[in-house]
Amino acid sequence: MTITVEFYGLARSRVGAAVATVDTPTGSSDLGRVLRELAARYPGLAACCQGNGQLRAEYTANIGGRQFVRDPATPLRAGDALLILSADAGG
């Protein structure tokens, strides 16, 4: 299945791209697995993650523009859009 990942703000700067896709061989995945895959592909993103597939406190993840998530075990479904952005929304 394919997960589309959108990067915003610092995450985009770290990765050097606005969008990426992650293909998983099985029919299911989770946040932690996708982050580990991305961190391996983009060394800049590895700095945004902790070792256990969780984002550092300065970052947050959002599924489809709906719910914000942190738990690496959060399931992701085929076609989901995963947003990576700053946790700090202060303006």
Partner 1 sequence: MTQPPRQTPGGYHGRYLRVDVSDGQAEPAELPGDLLRRFLGGSGLGAYLLLREDVARSEPLSAATSLAFVFSPLVGSPLTTSAKFAVVGKSPLTGRINDALASSGFAIAGKRTGFDAIVVTGRAPRPSVLVIDDGQVRLEAAGRLWGLECDAAEAALRARMGAGFHAAVIGPAGERQVRYATISHDGRHAGRGGSGAVLGAKNLKAVVVGGTRLCAWADAAALAELGRELSRKSCGPATAKYRELGTAANLLAFNRLNALPTRNFQRGSFEGAARIAPETLAAARHKTRNSCAACTIGCEHIYELRPGREDIAGAAVRVEYENLFALGPLCGVEDADAVLAASRRCDQLGLDTISTGGTIALAMECVERGWLNAPWLRFGDGRALLQAIEQIGARRGLGRLLGEGSLRLARAVGHDALAVAPQVKGLELPGYEPRSLQMMALGLATGTRGADHNRSGAYEIDFSDRADRRHPAPEAASLAAGTEDQAALFDSLILCKFLRGVFTDVPAEFARMLRAVTGWDVAPDELRQTARRIVTAKKLFNIRAGWTPQEDTLPERFLNQPLPDDPEAVLTAERLAALVSAYNLARGWRPDGQLEEEHLRQLQLDDL
Angle (nearest 5°) at CA 29 between 28 and 33: 160
- What is the total count of residues that contact partner 1 (CB under 8 A)? 27
Among 2, 16, 43, 58, binds partner 1 (CB under 8 A): 58
Q: Does 71 bind partner 1 (CB under 8 A)?
A: yes
Q: List phi, psi (to 5°) of 34.
A: -65, -40
Q: Does 65 bind partner 1 (CB under 8 A)?
A: yes
Q: How many CB atoms lie within 10 A of CB 54?
A: 17
Please report, as ranges, the residues that interact with partner 1 according to CB under 8 A: 6, 8-10, 12-13, 47, 56-58, 60, 62, 65-71, 83, 85-91
